[in-house]
Amino acid sequence: MPGIDENLLFRSLGIAVLTISDTRTSENDRSGDALARCVTDAGHYLVSRAIVPDDTVEIAGMITRWENHSAIDAILTTGGTGLTGRDVTVEAISPMLDKTLDGFSVLFHRMSFDSVGLATLQSRACAGLIDTTFVFCLPGSTGAVTEAWDHIIRDALDSRYRPCSLVDLIPRLSE
């Protein structure tokens, strides 16, 4: 049965949280706050956190800086995964991915359908790898980021998850 094996050692990861929005500030960034709280509550290190506007150059620039930071194992983004003209997160990050985690999108939509029904069609949540850094692109709603963390990302980034976790792959990602 898949799940957390409490007999195994938990390995903390370095995680960065990026909010992508033209309107969010540090005072009203509820989805970024929720992700940061999820990261630290799970026992990981919040290495960095930032807000950038819906601009492909600024998004890609921040992702590149963090992807090159040796203490960051994973990047979680919130915002810009919808269908409007200003939603450009996927356009900025997808070309940077060396590999995609197609199963993340499938699981996200399956989970999201249970809470928002067909509105899940409006999300282009995705995930992948840039070199050895995991990147998860999530919608901008607090509910979506919390559910994605609770139902998918938390366990995927928990070294105790069995039969295997993404953490188990980290030493072999650069082979």
175, part of any domain = no
> Cβ(22)–Cβ(170) under 8 Å?
no
Domain that holds residue 47: 10-170
Per-residue pLDDT tens digits for 60-109: 999 999 999 999 999 999 999 999 999 999 999 999 999 999 999 999 99
DSSP state of 82: S
Per-residue pLDDT tens digits for 138-167: 999 999 999 999 999 999 999 999 999 999
111, part of any domain = yes
The pLDDT score that the predictor gives to residue 90 is 98
Q: Is the pLDDT of residue 37 over 90?
A: yes
Range 1-24 average pLDDT: 96
132, part of any domain = yes
Output the CA–CA distances (angstroms, integers) from residue 154 to 3, 27, 118, in the order listed: 11, 25, 25
Strands 74-78 and 126-130: unpaired
Specify the number of domains making up the chain.
1
137, part of any domain = yes
Which residue type, as a one-letter code, is found at position 9?
A: L
2, part of any domain = no
CATH number of the CATH domain containing 19 = 3.40.980.10
- What mean pLDDT is reported for the chain? 96
154, part of any domain = yes
5, part of any domain = no
131, part of any domain = yes
Phi, psi dihedrals of residue 157, rounded to the nearest 5°: -100, 15
d(CA 162, CA 43) in angstroms, rounded, equals 18
The pLDDT score that the predictor gives to residue 175 is 86
Which residue type, as a one-letter code, is found at position 156?
A: A
